[in-house]
Amino acid sequence: IFREITDRKQAEQRIHSLAYYDTLTGLPNRQRFQQQLVGAIDSAREGGRKVAALYVDLDNFKRINDTLGHSFGDAVLKTIAKRLERCTRFDDAVSRADPDFGEPQLARLGGDEFVSILQNLRSEEQAVAVAERIRSELMRPVRHQGHEFVVTTSIGVSIYPDDGEDIDSLLKNAD
């Protein structure tokens, strides 16, 4: 009985992981991100606060896959995901020390698109500061298998409730 329950729990955890997390980067996927953003919007609505969605798109990423192969592109995406995590972690040296500023949440929407949720914003400048940190971090060259290149990004920012009051409008406006 113990073995059967253990196997079942492990299978449930595996299914949950496959359903809500990106298998390449380990970041939350689109499905999990939508749940997180709904929660952030609900919390902001109740507390009269703002939430930002930062939409990060890697420019011309298809060329990396086309010229160097998909496994090379996957390695680059993992590197970019780790850099984005460093930019949005609370304990990172460049993160703010404001305890009211909620832990940023990062997700991979698919392909070369990432998004971060910033909660409890007091001003739009806070979101701009995080976007600038991301831009600066991603401007550093990526080195992999003897290649060195810079991955340029486009970062869009939308603020709840100013730029939209639901997931679709916030993402569309950030994109």
Q: Catalytic residue numbers? A: 112
Q: How far, in Å, CA of 42 to CA of 148, rounded?
A: 43
Residues paired with residue 147 on neighbouring β-strands, in sequence order: 144
Distance of alpha carbon 140 from the chain centroid: 18
> Do 21 and 28 meet the contact criterion of CB atoms below 8 Å apart?
yes
Cα–Cα distance, 145 to 83 (Å, whole number): 18
Assess contact for 90 and 103: CB atoms under 8 A: yes
Q: What angle do CA 50, 56, 62 make, to 5 degrees?
A: 160
